[in-house]
Amino acid sequence: MAQHPGAGGESIVTDGLFAAEELRRNHPEDFKILSSTDMYFWDKGHANYSWEMPEFYKIAKFPVIRVNGNNEVMQIAVNNAIRDSHMDLPPQEVKKYYAAYKRFHNILYANAMTFKMEQGEYCYRGPLAGRDNSSCNTALHCTILSHAMLYTPRGAD
């Protein structure tokens, strides 16, 4: 993978599982909102290969903080580039949701690390990651999965 050679384009990573637990400890109502309210995500584009559908428009919805049956955090999904503005919330609940979402973002960024990747390096999946676009318009967004979710057989909780 080619990296931006000049100034800027630093990668920013943070621990989403830690941030979720921090939110749960210090702001349990916000944690409840973000782990029980679906957010819509969308993607639209053209196929990479001839055997795929020529165009696609995908929509998915799930909470930003996904928990299992034991209320353990299993997945964090943060990607403002594909987050939809549509929400299945009554108007009076929208402000509470965005206040919780903003607080979660503040925790994510307060614990973020910034570094410059070398030529050929990339972040595929693991930490929540982004790219400083002050002089590079490339962005990388990831979904973080817990180790249990990555290494647990399907259907096991």
Question: What are the pLDDT digits (tens) for 89-144?
Answer: 999 999 999 999 999 999 998 988 887 777 776 665 544 444 444 444 334 344 44
Query: Rounded to 5 degrees, what are φ and ψ at 72?
Result: -90, 140
Nearest CA-CA partner of 144 in 12, 16, 6: 16
DSSP assignment letter at 118 = P
Nearest CA-CA partner of 34 in 82, 92, 87: 87
Q: What percent of the chain has pLDDT over 90?
A: 34
Nearest CA-CA partner of 24 in 59, 73, 68, 69: 73
Task: List pLDDT tens digits, range 4-24.
Answer: 677 777 777 888 899 999 999
* Residue 71 confidence class, pLDDT cut points 50, 70, 90: very high
What domains appear along the chain, each with residue ranges and CATH number? Answer: 11-151 (3.60.130.10)
Instruction: List CB contacts of 36: < 8 A, sequence separation 6 or more.
Output: 63
| Edge-first strand listing for the sheet containing 143-145 | 65-67, 73-77, 143-145
